[in-house]
Structure 1
Amino acid sequence: RILRTHVLRPTWHFVTPQDIRWMLALTAPRVHKLNDSTYRIQGIDSEVYKRSRKIIVKALQGEKQLTRDELASLFESSGIKIDNGLRLAYIIMRAELDGIICSGPRRGKQFTYMLLDERAPASNTLTKSEALAELAARYFTSRGPASVKDFAGWSGLSMADARTALEAVNNKLESEEINGQTCWFPQTRTRGLPKSPFVYLLSIYDEYISGYKDRTAMDAGFSMQLFAMGNALQFIIVMDGLVVGTWKRTIKKDAVLIELNYFKKLSRPEKLAVVNAADRYGEFLGLP
């Protein structure tokens, strides 16, 4: 079972039931601090949140599952105004960060919420020192080479806590100076690189992007084109580790259509690698 909740940074992440409590205990206090100004602007003071929390718990007790819209209707009928989507989002996020709710089973295409105590009643707890070490070990062994700044940006931890976490596990890692930064990575690397050219069609929210503060290593000289796209940028073409273009998808009933935008002229083998990546994506969706 995989759960979806707000943890690490003010955004959703997928976590296992075994990890959700110690990760919330470690990172939620800092996310709350980042959210404080929005809580004030949206009028989510201690009294409003206390009432909202009581409504949520009462409505979900007994392993009930409600959608976001259904929770909004309950708030409105109980006198808590939901004037905009942002206020609702931050009430729900606050309840997630406090370990009151997490994702429930999907209802068709809609996400639902359940009480965390009923959805994951037996999840692990760790001390802060144990949690810091565990998070650092998982990050650097799965995403290294990476710097302590990358780790802090990904985890939402303060630089002080990020350094403490790294110090707890750096004897199990190797390090190397890369572009003036000390980067850490696992001592044993068994997987070789795929045969070049190899292409991935990724979202800008993929861990390959969001997992690092410094993304210069993946810049093939087209950062200005990406920056100019602003909010229109959603999907990127990554070839041999470098961003070389963007892509869009249109999902039809019986097919997925992919529109490609290259930042440079590709060779025939490179174009074939993009086609292979598109085929893999279609297979994943079960569509040609």
Structure 2
Amino acid sequence: MDISERSLVHARLAAQGLCGPPAPGPVQAVGRLLAVQAQDPRGMRLAVRARTRGLRAADVDAALTLDRSLLVTWLCRGTLHLVRTEDYWWLRELTAPRMAAQIRRRLAQEGVSPGDAQRGVALIETALAADGPLLRDELRRRVAAAGVPTAGQAMVYLLVVAATRGTIVRGPVVGTEQAYALVSDWLGPPPQAFDRDAALAELARRYLAGHGPADERDLARWAGLPLGDARRGLVAITAEVVTTPGGRQDLAGRSRHPGDQFPTRLLGAFDPILHGWAERSWIGADQRTITSNGIFRPTILVDGRAAGTWSMPGGRVELAPFADPPAWPAPVAAALADEADDVRRFLGVQPG
């Protein structure tokens, strides 16, 4: 890794909160990243663990359930994301219109007519108004009882429609799941009117804070928005941005020194470091990091690079390094053992 490449890797790891001082809590860790991909519940929580110290998964659950400072819903790229509650309002307004055509197409593929979709969303809203928060299977039973198709992925896409309309979010943790709640009940009214230009500027600013150095293509890909929107947001914050030697943009005033060491981390499935840019060769991630159906597997990070994957069968952390045998010095091996212990501590899992 040459100096310029090392500098880029270090800057992005620092922006992600994987280098430097840890975040003091889950809300700060998520806020730095703006949005954390959340279709894998354990991976979502492990993303917070890797950027904090001494917390437990229960601390993330408390933020979701007790103080309602975090929530999960469909946002960037039409995918579930964990965000701060205060960022939900403007992010949904920015990203929901882009998802509408895709959702209609998927509902049709699942055999749900436009009329059935309208009825299904109305039934979800009525059920949550009367008895919410409710788990997905509870909502499914009520919707199916009214004759609306729910088989396959139909129910999921009915929930996506309700979420993109700003009707529902995933709220409290109930057992191992998150229940759905009405936005009006769970969060109350929006704190302010939506300003699209201001939202695009905030998107660009916050994206660079957690992902810089990056460019407009990176931002557009990550947010799932047109390139023109990404460019518009970046232009709006021109006075706050500098251009790095590689031609990418970053927030002014951020330290871009490469540093002497990179962290050794066990990252969860779908960790933000693996899908925050248009390409990921800079982190050493290739097809070995991603399963054949596009699911990002839990990843071993060594010396600023993806060095393997890991799993946890029966509560035991098992490493699968890309190199066989792995060329890890003793300090790295010891750090990985410590990481494995911390993953189990964070999740409250004991080896079987």
* 1:1-288 equivalent positions in 2, closer than 5 A: 1=68, 2-62=70-130, 64-84=132-152, 86-124=153-191, 125-178=193-246, 182-189=247-254, 196=261, 198-219=263-284, 223=286, 225-226=288-289, 229-231=291-293, 234-251=297-314, 256-264=315-323, 265-287=327-349
Instruction: Compute the displacement of 1:112 (Å).
Output: 0.9
SS of residue in 2 equivalent to 1:19: helix
The C-alpha deviation readout for 1:22-60, integer Å capped at 9, x for no partner, is 211111010122333212212333311221122112111
Deviation at 1:199, TM superposition (A): 0.8
Structure with higher RCO (Cα < 8 A, 6+ apart): 2
SS at match of 1:83: coil
TM-fit CA distance, 1:190: 5.5
Q: Secondary structure of the equivalent of 1:99?
A: coil
| Higher Rg | 1
Counterpart CA distance in 2 for 1:224 and 1:198 is 22
Taking the aligned partners of 2:337 and 2:148, their CA distance within structure 1 comes to: 51
- Structure 1 contact 24–97 (Cα < 8 Å) conserved: yes
Q: How many residues align?
A: 277
SS where residue 172 of structure 2 aligns? coil
Give TM-score scaled by structure 1 length: 0.88
- Indicate conservation of the 8 Å contact 1:4/1:14, yes or no: yes
| Counterpart Cα distance in 2 of 1:168 and 1:208 | 26
- State whether residues 146 and 183 of structure 1, in contact with CA within 8 Å, keep that contact through their aligned partners in structure 2: yes
How big is the shift at 1:287?
4.6
Q: Using the TM superposition, give the Cα deviation of residue 62 of structure 1 relative to its aligned residue in structure 2, in angstroms.
A: 5.0
Unaligned runs of 5+ in 2: 1-67
* Distance (whole Å) between structure 1 residues aligned to residue 113 and residue 229 of structure 2: 28
Question: In structure 2, do the counterparts of structure 1 residues 68 and 224 end up closer, same or farther at CA, with 3 Å as the change threshold?
Answer: closer
**Alpha-carbon distance in 1 for matches of 2:233, 2:151:** 41
Which secondary structure does the structure 1 equivalent of 2:150 belong to? coil
Greater Cα offset, 92-101 or 256-265: 256-265
Secondary structure in 2 aligned to 1:213? Answer: coil
Structure 1: stretches of 5+ with no match in the other structure: none
Residues 162-220 of structure 1: CA deviation (Å, up to 9, x unaligned): 11111111320121243xxx31112223597776352111134111112111112111x
* Identity level (%): 29
Q: How does the TM-score come out when normalised to structure 2?
A: 0.73
